[in-house]
C-alpha cells in the first residue's frame, strides 16, 4: 500500500466512524423524553452524517473508482466498514448513550485538532469544520455526564455501570495500525500516543467531577479498524442500507 | 414526555453585532447551562444569532395586563415625545 492509498483508506475510516455514530443517534429520533434534547440529538446526529459525507466524497474522489458517497455508505458489506467498535454500541439507556458520546467525542476532538495541522490541505479543512461541531457536542454530553454522575443515587449507579461497560472499547482508539502510522509519518498526522495521554487526562477530569470512578485497567476489545465488528453492527447496517438495497438506484 | 416539567426559560438572541437581544421564545431546562444549550439547539440552528441570553421565566417581573390603561395610555396623546418632527438622514438604519 502506498502512502497515498493509506491516506484514502484513513479518510474512509474517519467517514465510517462518523456515519455509524450518526446512524446510532438517529435511531433515537422521536424517542427522547424532552423536546429540546430531542432537537439537540438530531442536530448532533446530522452533524456526524454531514462529516461522513465530506470524508466519503473526498475518499471517493481520491479512490477514483467511480464510487459515490452513497455507494460507500449503502453498498458496502459489514467487514468493509472500519469504524471504531465504540460508535456502533447500542444506545442502551440514556446514561449509556451519554457515556459513549463523551468517550468518543473527547478522543475525536483531539484527533480533529491534530488533523487540522496535517499536510493534506483538504483533510485539514474538513477537520477544522468538524472540530467546531464536536467541541460543542462534547460540552453538551460532558455536562450531562456531570448531572447524571453527581445526580441521584440511581443515576450515579446507572452511569457508573455505563462507564464500566463501555470502557473496554476505548483502547482501540489509540491502538495505532499502519494507517495511523502512515498518517503520522508521511502527512504530519495525529500522534495517537500523545492523544491517548491527553484523552485520559481530560476524561479523568470529567469523571472525577461527576463523582464517578475511572474503570480499572482491563483487556481492550479491538477489531473495528480491521473490519471485525461486534454482534450489534450487522443489525445497524441492515436497517441503514435497507432502502437502497431493496430499491437500487432509488432517488428522491 | 416526562411527568415532571423542567422550569421554563425565556430566550433572547442578538442576531448580529450592534443590535440588541430580542425575545425569540422559550425552552424548558433543568439548569442554567442546559437552558443555554437548549436555546442554542432550538433557536440558532439556522444562523439566527451571535449571542444568546437565557433567563428563568419566573424571574421576569412583568406588568399587569389589568393595569394596561394606567401604564400605557397616558403616553398616547403626547405626540411631542415622538421624534416625528425630524427628517432622518438616508443610510441610518435600526433607529
Q: Provide the CATH number for the domain around residue A49.
A: 1.20.1260.10
In a domain, A175, yes or no: yes
In chain A, how many domains are there?
1
Which of the pair, B3 or A172, is modelled with greater confidence?
A172
Contacts 24+ apart (CB under 8 A), A204-208: A206/A102, A206/A106, A206/A142, A206/A145, A206/A146, A207/A145, A207/A149, A207/A163
| Residue A187, CA atoms < 13 Å, CB-side half-sphere | 26
Domain with residue B38: its CATH number is 3.10.20.520
In a domain, A251, yes or no: no
For B53, the domain range is 8-63
pLDDT of residue B84: 75
The strand pairing partners of B53, in sequence order, are B12
List CB contacts (< 8 A) between A136 and chain B.
Answer: 40
pLDDT in tens, A172-184: 999 999 999 999 9
pLDDT of residue B3: 63
In chain B, how many domains are there?
1
In a domain, A14, yes or no: yes
In a domain, B56, yes or no: yes
In a domain, A150, yes or no: yes
For A73, the domain range is 3-246
Q: State whether A40 and B38 contact (CB < 8 Å).
A: yes
In a domain, A252, yes or no: no
User: Which residue in A166, A150, A151 sits closest to A207, CA to CA?
Assistant: A150
The strand pairing partners of B11, in sequence order, are B25, B54
In a domain, B15, yes or no: yes
Continuous H helices in A27-92: 35-63, 69-74, 85-88
Strand-pair category, B51-56 with B22-28: unpaired
B81 touches chain A (CB under 8 A): no
Give the distance from residue A175's alpha carbon to the nearest chain B alpha carbon, in angstroms. 34
In a domain, B82, yes or no: no
pLDDT in tens, A110-156: 999 999 999 999 999 999 999 999 999 999 999 999 999 999 999 99
pLDDT of residue A249: 86
Q: State whether A35 and B28 contact (CB < 8 Å).
A: yes
In a domain, B78, yes or no: no
CA A147 from chain centre, in angstroms, equals: 23
Question: By the 8 A CB rule, do A232 and A89 touch?
Answer: yes
Grid coordinates standing for A187?
502527512
In a domain, B28, yes or no: yes
A245 touches chain B (CB under 8 A): no
The strand pairing partners of B51, in sequence order, are B14
In a domain, B69, yes or no: no
Weakest-pLDDT range from A45-49, A221-225, B73-77:
B73-77
A139 touches chain B (CB under 8 A): yes
B42 → closest Cβ in A36, A136, A139 = A36
Residues A214-227 have a mean pLDDT of: 95
Q: How far apart are CA A180 and CA A176, in angstroms?
A: 5
Which of the pair, A217 or B85, is modelled with greater confidence?
A217
Percent of chain A scoring above 90 in pLDDT: 96
Residues B78-94 have a mean pLDDT of: 79
In a domain, A46, yes or no: yes
Name the strand (E) or helix (H) holding A209: helix A192-209
In a domain, B37, yes or no: yes
Name the strand (E) or helix (H) holding A245: helix A232-246
Helical pair A178-187 and A3-26, crossing angle rounded to 10 deg:
120
In a domain, A169, yes or no: yes
Most confident stretch, A18-22, B4-8, B63-67: A18-22
Amino acid at each position: 500500500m502506498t502512502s497515498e492509498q493509506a491516506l484514502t483508506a484513513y479518510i474512509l475510516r474517519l467517514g465510517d466512524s462518523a456515519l455509524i455514530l450518526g446512524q446510532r443517534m438517529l435511531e433515537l429520533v422521536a424517542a427522547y423524553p424532552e423536546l429540546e434534547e430531542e432537537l439537540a440529538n438530531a442536530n448532533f446526529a446530522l452533524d456526524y452524517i454531514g462529516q461522513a459525507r465530506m470524508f466519503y466524497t473526498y475518499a471517493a474522489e481520491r479512490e477514483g473508482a467511480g464510487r459515490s458517497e452513497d455507494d460507500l455508505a449503502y453498498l458496502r458489506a459489514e467487514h468493509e466498514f472500519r469504524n471504531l467498535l465504540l460508535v456502533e454500541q447500542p444506545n442502551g439507556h440514556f446514561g449509556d448513550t451519554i457515556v459513549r458520546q463523551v468517550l468518543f467525542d473527547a478522543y475525536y476532538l483531539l484527533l480533529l485538532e491534530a488533523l487540522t495541522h496535517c499536510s493534506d490541505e483538504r483533510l485539514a479543512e474538513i477537520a477544522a469544520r468538524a472540530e467546531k461541531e464536536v467541541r460543542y457536542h462534547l460540552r453538551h454530553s460532558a455536562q450531562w455526564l456531570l448531572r447524571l454522575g453527581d445526580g441521584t443515587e440511581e443515576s450515579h449507579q446507572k452511569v457508573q455501570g455505563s462507564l464500566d461497560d463501555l470502557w473496554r472499547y476505548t483502547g482501540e482508539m489509540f491502538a495505532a495500525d499502519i494507517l495511523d502510522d502512515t498518517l503520522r509519518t508521511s502527512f504530519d498526522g495525529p500522534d495517537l500516543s500523545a492523544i491517548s495521554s491527553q484523552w485520559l487526562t481530560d476524561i479523568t477530569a470529567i469523571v472525577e467531577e461527576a463523582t464517578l470512578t475511572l474503570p480499572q485497567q482491563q483487556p481492550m476489545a479491538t477489531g473495528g479498524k480491521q473490519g471485525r465488528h461486534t454482534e450489534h453492527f450487522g443489525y445497524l447496517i441492515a436497517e441503514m442500507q435497507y432502502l437502497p438495497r431493496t430499491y437500487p438506484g432509488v432517488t428522491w | 414526555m416526562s411527568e415532571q416539567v423542567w422550569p421554563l426559560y425565556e430566550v433572547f438572541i442578538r442576531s448580529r453585532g450592534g443590535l440588541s437581544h430580542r425575545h425569540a421564545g422559550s425552552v424548558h431546562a433543568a439548569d442554567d447551562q442546559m437552558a443555554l444549550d437548549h436555546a442554542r439547539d432550538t433557536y440558532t440552528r439556522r444562523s439566527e444569532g451571535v449571542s444568546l441570553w437565557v433567563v428563568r421565566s419566573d424571574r421576569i417581573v412583568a406588568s399587569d395586563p389589568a393595569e394596561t390603561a394606567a401604564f400605557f395610555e397616558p403616553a398616547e396623546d403626547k405626540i411631542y415625545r415622538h421624534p416625528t418632527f425630524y427628517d432622518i438622514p438616508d443610510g441610518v438604519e435600526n433607529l
